[in-house]
Amino acid sequence: MNQDYLRNVNKPFEENIVRDLQKQAKAGKIPIISEEGIHFLIQMIQIHKAKKVLEIGTAIGYSSILMALFTNVKVTSIERNETLYKQAMTNVKTAKVEDLVELVLADANDVVINDLDYDIVFIDAAKSSYIRFFEKFSKNLKKGGIIISDNLLFRGMVAHPEKIESKNRRQLVKKINLYNEYIVNHPNFDSYIYAIGDGLSISIKK
Ligand code: SAH
Ligand code: MG
């Protein structure tokens, strides 16, 4: 399979901190971004010469820390779960990126972010709120800035909702599909959805 081949030919992360964070995520069953996804984000930051990223959904800080570590970008990341926020704080210190990564303990629905000069907004929190997050945080984005959204294919379920047994799951997947249609039809953004990782999109602010 292509994926197995690519996993072999591409170089894995060798840094201990990356391995350690991946282990933490696995142990706590935390859904961190795929390796393919984080490489895509990192290279997007590099190509776009981004200076500031706003992330919605920190979890243990894996994606924040890797973006900062490999590109020197400044990251503001919002997390509503206090336990995860604290774990992320510890991880940021261990990774020595506390000058680059600012963690905010808040619900993204309530928080007010004042800066209007973010180059990238990375949406990776509660999937049912993605449209609200997109509308809210697009105001913090520069013209020409990019919104990147994760999990738009939700482990294949968005493409095949008929296979889902759970009603709640079906509702969630329906919302993701609505979000996908919303971004590709948005008049103020050029969007495209890619089968990278668990489904990532790029939306460029016109
Ligand atoms: N970006 C991380 C993974 C985030 S997982 C990484 O790839 O490493 C999604 C996180 O979003 C969870 O920790 C969850 O607690 C948080 N979250 C969900 N809804 C939220 C909201 N409304 N406000 C803030 N955080 C939220
Ligand atoms: Mg995700």
Residue 9 CA to ligand 1 center (angstroms) comes to 31
Residue 204 has pLDDT above 90, yes or no: yes
Q: If 0-12 CB within 10 Å is exposed, 13-18 middle and 19+ buried, where does residue 138 land?
A: middle
Residues of 112-136 as b/e, b for ≥16 C-beta within 10 angstroms? ebeeeebbbbbbbbbbebbeebbeb
pLDDT in the model for residue 195: 97
What is the average pLDDT value for the chain, to the nearest integer? 97
Is the minimum distance from the CB of 57 to ligand 1 under 6 angstroms?
yes
Q: Residue 1 above 90 pLDDT?
A: no
Q: How does pLDDT run across 85-137, given as a tens digit for each residue? A: 999 999 999 999 999 999 999 999 999 999 999 999 999 999 999 999 999 99
Say if ligand 1 is within 6 A of residue 31 CB: yes
Q: What residue ranges define each of the domains in the chain, with the CATH number in brackets?
A: 2-205 (3.40.50.150)
**Ligand 1 contact via 129 beta carbon (within 6 Å):** yes
Cα distances (Å, whole numbers) of residue 111 to 78, 85, 116: 9, 15, 14
DSSP class per residue in 9-20: HSPPP--HHHHH
Mutation pick for ligand 1 pocket among 80, 109, 176 (CB with most ligand atoms within 8 Å): 80
